[in-house]
Chain A
Amino acid sequence: MMEHIRTPKVENVRLIDRTAPRKAMVGTLYLSATHTIFVENNPETRRETWVLHSMVASVERPPTTPSGSHLVVHTKNFQVVQLLIPQERDAMDVQASLARLSRPEKYSELYCLSINPNANKEEREESWSFLDLQADYRRMGVPNNLWVSTPANSEYRVCDTYPSELFVPKSATPPVIVGSSKFRSRGRLPVLTYFHQDTLAAICRCSQPLSGFSARSQEDEQMLEAIMKSNPGSDYIYVVDTRPKLNAMANRAAGKGYENEDHYANIKLQFIGIENIHVMRNSQQKISDVGELKTPSMGDFLWGLESSGWLKHIKAVLDAGVFIAKAVAEEGISVVVHCSDGWDRTAQACSVASVLLEPYYRTMKGLMLLIERDWVSFGHKFSHRYNHLEGDPKEVSPVIDQFLECVWQLSEQFPCAFEFNERFLVQLHRHVYSCQYGNFLGNSQKERRDMGLRERTHSLWPQLWKDRAQYANPLYRADHTQTQGILRPNTTPYCFKMWKGMYNRVEKSSPPRQTPTDLLTAVREETQQLEEELTNHQERIAVLTKADQTKGNAGQRKINKVCEEECRPGGLAPPTGDGPFTSPPQGYSPSQGGPPGSAMTLPLGPPKGPGPDSDDLSSACSDMESGVADLSSHSSSGGDDNKDPDEAVYCTA
C-alpha cells in the first residue's frame, strides 16, 4: 500500500473542531499504510487522532481558501474529521492518497491480511475456536428427533452461499432437499435457524421460490410440509415474506415470487413490508445528514428525521421480528422466513426474532453467536454490503446497521435486559466495516474458506470478550424479570428515537455528558476491588489474630474505616476538574466558541507506529466524552493489557 502514499507527512495542519470552527489544533499529519494520524504540536498534550483507512467513506475538498485547503473526511461510522492544510498541493496529494488507500481493490490490501499471520500463531488459532456454532445448536436442543443435520451441502454442493452444515426436518429426504433447493433462488432452500424448545416451534429461512405465475415444485411443497410436521401438534406454518407485497408480486414476472397458497397445503402467508437495500441506503444517508446538521432548529431536526424515513424502516424490521417471535412463542407455530435472496431482510427478521425469544442472545457471547449464525454463516454479503473492496455502489446497504439499531432500540426500551451496553453495539458496527479482523470478509462461508481467512487473520470475538468490562451494562442481572423469557416490545412510533450515539457523534464532544451506567460500572468495579482488599485484610487479620488474640478486633475496625475513606474519592468522584464539565457553553449565541476537547482525540504520547501493536493508545478512552473522566482511570481493570488496535483510531466509548 505504501506506493499509494504520495506525501507521508504534512506539517502545520489544523484539525478543526466542527462544533467550534475557530478552535483548532495545530499539528502534523502522517499517512501510514493503514492509518491517517494527526499529532498535535502542543508538547504538553500531544493529542493524537487516528483514522483507519478502511473506515474512510469519503474525502471532500471544498474550494481552497486563503488560509489553505480544507479536507473533510467522513467515516463509515458517521464521524467527521476536518483538516486545514496550508498548501493546496499537499491537500490534493493527501486527498488522492486517501481516496486510493480507503478503496482497496484486492482483499490482500486489507488491514487484517496485511499483517504477518504467524506472528501470534497460537493466539490466532485459538481466536477462531472462541465461538462454536454447533454448540449453540446443541444448546437449542438440535439435533433431536425432529431436526437433523444433513450432509447435503458438504463442499457447498447444493448451495454455495449456505454453511456446509444444515439442519432440516428429519422427514426431509435427500431428493426433497435437492429438489427444494432447485426451486429456490440461488439454491437457498428452507433450513432451520432457530428452535424454540418450549413450544417445539422453529424458525426456518430460505430465499424466494421460483414460482413465477404458475411453476411449482413437489419437493419444495414437501419440504414445507416436513417443516410443519416437525412441530408436532401444529397444523399450519407461517410463511413470512418480509418484502412489501407489491415487490413480491413484481418478482413473479421474473420467474420468482412467493408461495402460492393453493399449492402449499397449510401455510399462512404474511407480508411484512421491509423496503429493499436501495431504499435503506438512501434513507441512512439522510439520517446521517440529519445527525450532522450543525445548528438545526427543532423543526428542522424533526422534519429531517421524518423525511429520512429511517425510524419507519427500523420499526418495520422490529415488527417483522415481533411477528415471528409471537408466532413461535405464543402460538407455537413454526415460521419460514424469506425475502428475495434470503440474505438481507431475512437475516434481519430472523435475528431480531431470536433476540426477542431467547435471553441468551441478549448476552455478549449470545449476540456474537447470533451474528455468527444468522449473518456470517448464512451468507450475508458483508464485503458487498459494507464496501470492503472497491465495487458496485448499488450493492452497498446498511443491512446489519439496522439489526444493531433494533437491538439498541430494544435496549432503550428494556434497560435491564441486555448484558452489553451501547458501546458494544457501536463497536460491532465499526468492525463490520473496519476489516481489522477476518470475521466479516467475503460474502459467504465458502469464500472465507477459499481465502483461508482462519489461517491468515485473527477473529474479532475473543478481542471483544477480553474487553468485556467496558461493554457491560451494569443494570443487567441474569435473574431480573426483564432478562428472562421473551421480550414483548412496544412498537408504537413514539418508542423509536434517533440513535444519537451512532448518527450524532460529532456533537458528543460538546455537551458535558454524564452517564449513570458508566458511573455505576465504575462504582461496581471499585466496590469489587475494595471487597477483595477487605478479604485480603481479613485473611491477614485472621492470621494476626491467631498470633495475638487481643489486638484482632481493633485491627478489624481500623481496616473497615480505611475502606470507607478509599471508597468515596474513587468510586463516586464527581465529574469535576477541568474536563468537559467546565466546557463553555455552545450554541446559545453564535459568537461563542466550543469546548476544548474533541471526542476523537487522545491526550497521549508520540505515536508508536500503527498496527495491532499500538495497543496502549486506547488507555484514556472514555474521558473525553462521558463527563465521568476520572472514573475510568480509577477502575484498575480498564487495563493496559492488549486492547483492540482499532480503538486507537477513534476514541469512541
Chain B
Amino acid sequence: MEFSEHIKTANVEDVVLRRPFHPPMQGTLCVTGHHLLFSNRDGDSSRLVLLLLRNIDAIEKRPSVSSGTITLKCKDLCVLQLDIPGMEECLNIARSIEYLSSLDIVSDMYPFFYRPLKLSLQDQWGLSSPEQNYAQMEELQDRWRLSHVNKDYSVCPSYPPAVIVPHSIDDETLVKVAKFRQGGRFPVLCYYHRKNGMVIMRSSQPLTGANRKRCREDELLLQAVIDGSGLGYIIDTRSNQQAQQARMTGGGFESKSSYSCWKRLHRQLERGKVLQESLIKLVEACGDHSHSVDRWLSKLENSKWLSHVHTALATAGLLAECVERDGHSVLVHGSEGTDATLLVSSLAQLILDPNTRTLDGFLGLLEREWLLAGHPFQHRCAHSAYSHARLRLEAPVFVLLLDCVWQLARQFPLAMGFSEPLLLRLAREVYASDYGTFLCNSDQERCAAGVKERTHCLFQFLLKPSEREHYSNPLYEPTELAIWPSIQPQSLQLWRGLFLRWTQHAVHLEKAQEELRNLVIECRGAS
C-alpha cells in the first residue's frame, strides 16, 4: 500500500505543539506513513517529538480562516494540541491522521517497518513454546500429556498448536470435545499447583443449547481431570441467569446431572461493551478537573471501573482459594473463554505461583495466558477511551488485568519482581506499538501474517539487559507463599499512575518512586 496517497500535506512550518509538562513549542510538523514528526531547531539544539499514528484514538479539528487547531487524544490517554497555520494544511493533516491512525490491515502496521539497529529479526520471537513449558513441568507429566491435535489450528483456531490435556484422553476424544465447546476451546490445563497437584483448566462454554445436549467425551475429559480427587469446581464468569440465557443461543453450562463431580460457582464479570464504556466514563471523569469532590466521587462510582477491579480480584481470589486451601481442581470459563476467563486464571496464578511474579515469569504468563491462549488483542484494543468510532469488539480486558496486577503489587510491594513502569509500558504497547507482539487475534493469525518473522518481539526486548533494570522492582524479595490480596473496597485504589498519568500528581509520585529506587540501590551498595 502506498501511504503517500493519503498524505496531501507532508510538511508544515511554524506549527505550535502543546503537550503536558512542556511549554508550547514551535517547529515543523511532518506526516509520514506511521508517525507524526515534530521538530524544532532552537539555536544549536534540535528537538524531535515522534508520535506513532496508531496511538491516536480521536482527533478533533477546529479550523478557522487562516489556521486551525487539531487536538489529538491518544490511546495512552495523553492529549496533545497542534496549532497549524493554514486552513487547507490543517484539514489535510487531519485527514491523513484520521486515515493512517486506523489502518486495519496487519501487514501495513508499523511493527512490519520498525527496524532498529540494536535488534535483529533473527532474534528469538517469543519467550517460550508450549513444548518448552510442558518439558519444564516434570511433576505433571505422568498424568498430563502434550497434545498436538491442534497442530494446524483446525480443531480450535484460537488455541496454540500444542496444549496440555489429561493423559488418558486421546486426540480423537479432544476433537469431539472441541465440537461441543464454543469456538472449539476444549478444556486445557493452564496451571499445575505443585503443592497438591491440583490444576486450573480453562475452556469456553459447552454448547448444550436449549435441549440440554450432552457430550460424553466432554464429561470424560473433566472426569479425567479430577481423577481420584473427588470433586472439582467450575467457576463460570457469568451470572447463573446469564448462563441459563446462553442456552437459548446454543451455549450453556455444565449441569449438575451430567457433571456430578463438579460444583458450579457463578461470578459475574463484565466484558465487552460494558467494560469499554466503563473505561470511557472513568477517563472522562479523570479528565474533568472542574468538578467538586462529590461530583468526582459520584463519577468514579458511576464509571464502575473499580467495581470491575474488585470483582476480578475477588473471583481470582476465590479460584486460588479453591486450589490452595480447599485442594480442588478448577475449570474456569465464561462464554467464549477468551476474556474474563483469561483474566481470572492469570490473576489466580499470580496469587499462587511465585514463578509468575518475576519479570520473566510475568511476561511468560502473559505470553501463555493471553497471546497463545487467543485473547483477540486486535479486536479488543482497536480503540481506547477517547474514540468516537462506534464500538464493535473493543474491551479493555487487558488493561483491567494490568490494573488488578497493579493492585496486587501495591498491596505486596516486595512480592513482585517487576515494577509499575512495566505495567504502564504494557498498557501503552497493547494499543500502539513498534513491536509485533500484540498484533492479531490469535497465534494462528500471527503465523499467517508473518508476525514472528517480520516484526520484533516486545517481550524479548523488555528482557534485554538495557531495559531490565528499569522494569524490575528494586524492593523485590521472592516469597514462595501465596499472596492473598485484600479485596475490601477500602483497600483498592484508583490506578493514578495510569489514569492520571498526564497530571502533575503522577509526576510527584513518580519522583518518589525514583527516590525509593535510588535509596535501595544506595543502601544495598553501602552494605
Contacts and interface: CB of A to CB of B under 8 A. Distances in A.
Contacts of A500: 490-491
A282 B107 CA distance: 62
B487 interface: yes
B292 interface: yes
Contacts of B486: 507, 510-511, 586-587
By secondary structure, the A interface counts as: loop
A516 B505 contact: no
A636 to B, nearest CB: 15
Contacts of B413: 514-516, 519
Contact of B325 (A414, A415, A514, A584): A584
A495 interface: yes
The residue in A306, A414, A627 that gathers the most chain B C-beta atoms within 10 A of its C-beta is A306
B407 to A, nearest CB: 11
Contacts of B492: 298
Nearest to B319: A588
A493 B295 contact: yes
B16 to A, nearest CB: 26
A531 interface: yes
Given A413-B505, A516-B414, A297 B307 contact: yes
A587 B486 CA distance: 8
Interface in A256-306: 290-291, 293, 295-303, 305-306
A66 B185 CA distance: 54
A515 B475 CA distance: 10
B484 A416 contact: no
Interface in A379-414: 413-414
B503 interface: yes
A592 to B, nearest CB: 7
Interface stretch (A171-179, A227-235, A574-582): A574-582
B519 A475 contact: yes
Contacts of A507: 486, 488, 490-491
Interface stretch (B61-69, B108-116, B310-318): B310-318
A449 interface: no
The residue in B298, B325, B412, B527 that gathers the most chain A C-beta atoms within 10 A of its C-beta is B527
A312 B295 CA distance: 10
Nearest to A510: B486
Contacts of B512: 414-416, 475
Contacts of B317: 585, 587-588
B137 interface: no
A496 B293 contact: yes
B311 to A, nearest CB: 8
B489 A302 contact: yes
Interface residues of A, number: 75
B489 A300 contact: yes
Contacts of B487: 587-588
B110 to A, nearest CB: 33
Interface string B284-313: 011001011111111011001011011000
A148 interface: no
B527 A315 contact: no
Contacts of A342: none
Contacts of B102: none
A523 B415 CA distance: 17
B516 interface: yes
Contacts of B494: 494
A617 interface: no
Contact of A298 (B310, B412, B483): B310
B260 interface: no
A585 B481 contact: no
B296 A493 contact: yes
Chain B interface size, as a band, is: 35 or more
Interface in A52-101: none
B523 interface: yes
B257 to A, nearest CB: 24
B464 interface: no
A512 interface: yes
Contacts of A299: 301, 304, 307
Contacts of A571: 523, 527
Contacts of B325: 584-585, 592
Nearest to B300: A302
Interface in A565-600: 567, 571-576, 581-589, 592
Nearest to A524: B523
By secondary structure, the B interface counts as: helix
A480 interface: yes
Contact of B321 (A496, A513, A515, A592): A592
Contacts of A519: 413-414, 475
Nearest to A587: B487
A295 to B, nearest CB: 8
B292 A493 contact: yes
B500 interface: yes
A176 B201 CA distance: 84
B490 A574 contact: no
Given A291-B490, A588-B487, A305 B414 contact: no
A583 B321 CA distance: 12
B118 interface: no
B411 interface: yes
A320 to B, nearest CB: 15
Contacts of A496: 293
B484 A583 contact: yes
A415 B480 CA distance: 30
Contacts of A490: 503-505
A495 B475 contact: no
Interface string A474-496: 11010011100000001011111
Given A520-B519, A589-B318, A298 B489 contact: yes
B92 to A, nearest CB: 37
B478 to A, nearest CB: 7
Contact of B511 (A482, A574, A592): A482
Given A413-B505, A475-B516, A531-B526, A513 B411 contact: yes
A514 B414 contact: yes
A415 B510 CA distance: 10
B131 interface: no
B22 interface: no
B292 A301 contact: no
A559 B407 CA distance: 42
Given A298-B310, A507-B491, A520-B523, A413 B515 contact: no
Interface string B322-336: 000100000000000
Nearest to A571: B527
B320 interface: yes
B489 A494 contact: no
Given A298-B306, A589-B321, A494 B527 contact: no
A290 B490 CA distance: 9
Given A480-B515, A571-B523, A584 B489 contact: no
Interface string B113-154: 000000000000000000000000000000000000000000
A17 interface: no
A239 interface: no
A143 to B, nearest CB: 37
Given A299-B301, A493-B295, A494-B286, A416 B414 contact: no
The 4 closest A-B pairs by CB, nearest first: A511-B486, A493-B296, A415-B512, A301-B489
Interface of B: 285-286, 289, 291-298, 300-301, 304, 306-307, 309-310, 314, 317-318, 320-321, 325, 411-415, 475, 477-494, 496, 500, 503-505, 508-509, 511-512, 515-516, 519-520, 523-524, 526-527
22 contacts: A302-B297, A311-B293, A312-B293, A413-B508, A492-B503, A493-B292, A494-B296, A511-B485, A511-B488, A511-B491, A512-B484, A519-B413, A520-B516, A524-B523, A527-B526, A527-B527, A530-B527, A564-B527, A572-B477, A574-B477, A582-B481, A588-B314
Given A413-B505, A415-B509, A492-B289, 20 more contacts: A298-B309, A302-B298, A302-B489, A306-B298, A311-B297, A315-B293, A414-B508, A493-B291, A493-B293, A498-B490, A511-B488, A526-B527, A527-B527, A571-B527, A572-B477, A574-B414, A574-B479, A576-B480, A581-B479, A583-B484
